[in-house]
Amino acid sequence: MAKLVECVPNFSEGRNKEVIDAIADAIRGTEGCSLLDVDPGSSTNRTVYTFVGSPASVIEGALSAALVAFKLIDMGKHSGEHPRTGAMDVCPFIPVQNVTMEECVQCAEEFGQRLAEMLNVPVYLYGEAARKESRRSLPSVRAGEYEALPEKLAKTEWAPEFGPATFVPSWGATVTGARMFLIAYNVNLLSTKEQAHRIALDIREQGRGKNQPGLLKKVQGMGWYLEESNLAQVSTNILDFELTPVHTVFEEVCRDAKELNLPVVGSQIVGLIPLKAMLDCAEFYIQRENLFVVEEEHKIRLVISKLGLDSLGPFDPKERIVEYMVQANQGEDRLVSLSLQKFVQSVGARTAAPGGGSVSAAIAAMGAALGCMVGQMTYGKRQFESVDAEMRKLIPPLHRAMNDLLLKVDADSSAFNSYMVHKHTKTHSRGEATQTSSGRSFRDVLTGRSYTGISGRSFRDVFNGEELHGHPMGGASGMSNGEEAALKLPKGTAEEIKRREEAMQQGLKSAVSVPLSLAERVDTLWPVLKEMVKYGNVACKSDIQVAAKALETAVYGAYYNVIINLKDITDSSFRAETEEKVSSLLKNARENTNVTLETAEQRK
C-alpha cells in the first residue's frame, strides 16, 4: 500500500484570489501531489490548503507553495483576525496511510531545513517534531505573533531550529511540525446549548479543569447551538483517532445523553476523515453486534447509518474520505482502473509495461477473488446453512487478499516510473536538478513521460542502458527509496563510484522484495483455500480449482522475477537466503495446489 502524507499549510492571504490561486497552482503542479481542498477566509485573511502525496512529494509541494508565497505575500501589510507569525504561518505533516509519525517528523525537519536555506527565513518546529517541550504547542510558539518577532528573535531561547535568527519583515517566521490527523466531529442533540456543553465537559480531556479531568484522551470539546439546524451539538476535535476513535466519542456522548434523557439525532463530520478512521468504526460495530460485513463499501454505509452522518446533509464518501478523493484524482493513471480489455491490450503492446510483475499480481488477485466468490456462493443459502460459521471465517481473508493483491498490480510500473525519472536526472551533492541547455531541468523535460517497468529483465540490464529514443526497453519489480537515493549519488571520484555501487546493491536487494512479498502474500492463502474446497458450494468446484492454479501461477511469476534480479547481487549470503526462501514458497505453492485439486476431485 502506497505511503500517503497529508500536508495542511496555512498562508496569510485570504482575500486576494490571484495569490490564493497561484499558491494552489504551485501545489497542483507538483508531481505526486493531490490538492484536496482550498479554504480561504476573508475575515481571518488566511487560506488553508489541504493536499496529500508521498512523503517526498508533499515536501516538494510545500516548498513550491512557499516559494510562490514569498514572491506574492508581504506580511508588513497583513492584517486579520487569526493569530499568525508569517506568510506561510504553519505547515504540519500528518500521517494518513502506511506512514509513521516518525516519518512525518522527518518530513517536517527536511522541509524546515530546505525552506530556511531556500528563502533565508527563520523556521520553528512544533508538535511531534518539537525539539523543546516549550515548543510542542503551536500557540506557545506563536505567542506574540508576527509583531513580536523582532524582539523574540533577539532572545537566545527563541532561536529558530532552522535559518537565521533575523527578522524578515516581508515573511516573518514559519512553524512546521508533525501531528496526527485532526477529525472535527460533532454529535447532534435535541437539547439546550448548556446541556450539550455539560456533556462536552464530561468527555473532553481537559474536563472541567485541572482537578476534574474528562474521560477521553486527545479530545477537545464544547457545547453550542446550531441555529440553522435548530439543535445543539457536542462539538469535538479528535486529535488522535487511533487513541480515541470516532465511535468512542459517539458512544460516550450517547451514554451521557441517556442519563440526562436527551435524544441523540445523528452526528456530523466537518471536513475530511481518513479511511482508517471509518473502517475502525465499522469494525467496532461488526464485532459488537456479531455482523458479517466484508465489502468496504458496506462498511462505510454501516458507519454512516450507525453514527447518523447524513443527519444534517448528504455524506458522500467520495468527497469526504481522504483516500477516496486521492483515488478520484489519480484513478485514470492506475492499471487497475483500466478495463480488462485495455489492461490485456496494454500487456500485449510494444511498450515496457505492464509486464510479468503486474500480470502475476493480477492473476493472484483473480485467484483470491475466485476463492472469495465460492464462499459468497455458499454463505447465506439455506442448503449450506450448516457451514455458515466456516464461511464467516474463510471469506474475509480471501476478500482482504483480493484487494491487497490488486494494489500490487501497479507496484511494478509506478515504482519503475520514479526510478527512471531519477535515472535520467543527474544531481549535485545538494540534490539540485541539473539544467538542460534550454534552461529547463530534466525533471521538467521528463514530466508526463511514462517510464514503466517490465518484469522478466533485471535491474542490471536496465542500468546497462538499453534504451530506444530515450525510453527504457525493460525493467523489473520493486524500485525502492534506496535505489532513488543511489541514482542521485555523484559518480565522479572512485569513492563516489564505490558509494553509488554500494547503494545500488542495497537497491537491488529492495527490488527483490516486491515479487517476494507477492509470493509471501499468496502463501498465507493456502490454509484458507484448503478449507474452502472442503466446505464450499460443490457446484463451484471448478472455480476453486481455477483459483488454486491461478495462485500457483502467480507464485511462479514471483519466483522468476526474484531469481533474475538475484544474479546481480554480490552479497552471496543474501542471495542464497533469498533463493532458498522463494524456492520454498514455490514448493509450498505446488504442494498446496495439488492438495486442493485432489480434494476438489473427491467432492461429488
Q: Tell me how far apart the alpha carbons of residues 67 and 119 are, in angstroms, rounded to a whole number.
A: 8
Omega of the bond leading into 354 within 30 degrees of 0 (cis) = yes
Positive or negative CA dihedral for 594, 596, 602, 604? negative
Please say whether the beta carbons of 111 and 63 come within 8 A. yes
Chain centre to alpha carbon of residue 183 = 16
Answer left, alpha or beta for residue 4, where phi above 0 means left and psi between -120 and 50 means alpha.
Answer: beta
Beta bridge partners of 175: 90, 124
Q: How far apart are the first and last CA of the chain?
A: 40
String of b and e for 571-596 (b: at least 16 CB within 10 Å)? eeeebeebbeebeebbebbeebbeeb
Q: Which of 202, 410, 412, 543 is catalytic?
A: 412
Supply 375's cell numbers.
Answer: 464462499
Q: Among residues 203, 217, 311, which one has the least CA distance to residue 256?
A: 203
Three cell numbers, residue 67: 516559494
3-state secondary structure (DSSP) of residue 31:
coil
Q: Of these residues, 25, 37, 39, 82, which one is catalytic? A: 82
Q: Is 82 noted as a catalytic residue in this protein?
A: yes
DSSP string over 353-404: -S-HHHHHHHHHHHHHHHHHHHHHTTTT-GGGGGGHHHHHHHHHHHHHHHHH
The dihedral over CA atoms of 367, 371, 376, 379, expressed in degrees to the nearest 10, equals 180
Distance in angstroms (rounded) separating the CA atoms of residues 305 and 604: 43
What CA–CA distance (Å, rounded) separates 29 from 519?
37
One-letter amino acid at 201 equals: L
For residue 368, with 0-12 CB atoms within 10 Å meaning exposed, 13-18 middle and 19 or more buried, which class applies? buried
- Dist CA 72 CA 81 (whole Å): 20
Is 265:311 a contact under the CB 8 Å cutoff? yes
Rounded Cα distance between 124 and 132, Å, is 10
Residues 407, 416: contact at Cβ < 8 Å?
A: no
User: Angle of helix 526-535 relative to helix 388-409, nearest 10 degrees?
Assistant: 140
If 0-12 CB within 10 Å is exposed, 13-18 middle and 19+ buried, where does residue 342 land?
Answer: exposed
Other beta carbons within 10 angstroms of residue 101's beta carbon come to 17
Q: How far apart are CA 260 and CA 318, in angstroms?
A: 36
Q: What residues have CB less than 8 Å from 205, skipping those under 6 apart?
A: 213, 214, 216, 217, 218, 219, 220
- If phi over 0 gives left and psi between -120 and 50 gives alpha, with beta otherwise, what is residue 465? left
Active site residues: 82, 412
